[in-house]
Structure 1
């Protein structure tokens, strides 16, 4: 079952359960998927494309959470946190720091990178290989620390 189908099924389940937070979150995801479909002229949306959408939505909500928290709007920050939790359920299992470090070390030895000047080579390969399992910011920070 594709990720898009899973999300559509989850929307129905959330409706039946009257779970407003899940329903709002999943409808937002479905909306982004439909926008992508119109951009690619009705072609089939892949799970990888849906994962990119999910990651972008989680990042947006984390940014909103930080802004609301800084302004003392805990009510809105809690809504963002709840939506993050719902959306993250559909992302692949995220790598721990130890797993990420192992993966990056393997890629560094594979590319032969020895200095910070070759950081782009490693980040590009890591972003492709680890898509959906780790945020780009974490990849960048880990590569930088290992090549420094």
Structure 2
């Protein structure tokens, strides 16, 4: 079942339950998916593209949460945080810190990286391999930690 179908079903459920936050979040996701399909001119949207949309939307909401919190707007920050949690439910299971470290160690040994000079090489492989399983910031921090 495609993400669009899953989101449509979740929208129906949110409407029945009168869950405004979930409904707003899910409609935003569906809008982004439809926009991507329109840009692709009828071509099939890949799972990687759908995951990228979800990750981008979560990142936007987390950034907004931080900005609203810094400005003392807890009412708006809470909405952003709640929307982020709704969207996260549709991502694949995220790796724990230990699992992420293990995966990156494998990638470092496969690429033969030895120092921070090899950061770009490792990040390229890690970003593709761990796409959807962890966010770019976590991957980057772990790679830097392990290469230094």
CA distance, structure 1, for counterparts of residue 79 and residue 126 of structure 2: 32
The residue that corresponds to 2:76 in the other structure is 76
Moved more, 124-133 or 38-47: 38-47
- How far residue 16 of structure 1 moved from its aligned partner, in angstroms, is 1.2
Gaps of 5+ in 2: none
Aligned residues: 148
CA distance, structure 2, for counterparts of residue 63 and residue 107 of structure 1: 29
When the two chains are superposed, the root-mean-square deviation of aligned CA atoms in Å is 0.7
Paired residues for 1:45-60 under 5 Å: 45-60=45-60
The residue that corresponds to 1:93 in the other structure is 93
Q: TM-score, normalised by structure 1?
A: 0.97
* Residues 82-139 of structure 1, C-alpha deviations (whole Å, 9 max, x = no match): 1011000000111111100000000000111111111111111011110001011111
- SS of residue in 1 equivalent to 2:32: helix
Q: TM-score, normalised by structure 2?
A: 0.97
The residue that corresponds to 1:112 in the other structure is 112
The residue that corresponds to 1:143 in the other structure is 143
